[in-house]
Amino acid sequence: MTVPEPNTSEHAWSEEPTPVCPDDLSEGTWELLREEARRAMTKAYVPYSSYPVGAAGLVDDGRIVGGCNIENASFGVTLCAECSLVSDLFMSGGGRLVAFDCVDGDGNTLVPCGRCRQLLFEHGGDDLILNMPGGRSPMSVVLPEAFGPDHLSQARDAHSAKH
């Protein structure tokens, strides 16, 4: 009887951690992401909207992380699929997102809202490739001139220099 390794993901892009960059993205990789997004979508908790969403991201070490929307009767605390995905990213070891895909209940490609684009930028940067209804685009196109951690560190450094 073979016992599975305790820390291996069933949704790994590769068996061994393999550094991944946007140049490595093949159609097969995008198919894996789409499958994971659809799998994640089946886990969505959507008793109010009946609009399940699933998301998947490829991490720079080869892992695939996923997320789904999780609604709440107090709508303000509802979690979107992208937020759930970032939680999975950190729960499974952190890293940087390289590629991202998101689907609705019918498997159609969805566009991340502005809030989610900002969330994805923080964890993937300008080079993160997003599958959009009109094709694949880098985050630098999807969210041009994005606000991020560098802005905060520059402001902190400028403040420190004055005091």
Indicate which residues carry an active-site annotation. 82
Q: Which residues pair with 129 in a beta bridge?
A: 99, 138
Of 144, 96, 87, 90, the residue nearest 117 (C-alpha) = 144
Long-range contacts of 22-30 (CB under 8 A, 24+ apart): 22/98, 22/99, 22/127, 22/129, 22/138, 24/98, 25/58, 25/98, 25/99, 25/129, 29/58, 29/99, 30/99, 30/101, 30/131, 30/136
Q: Give the strand pairing for 97-104 and 129-132.
A: parallel
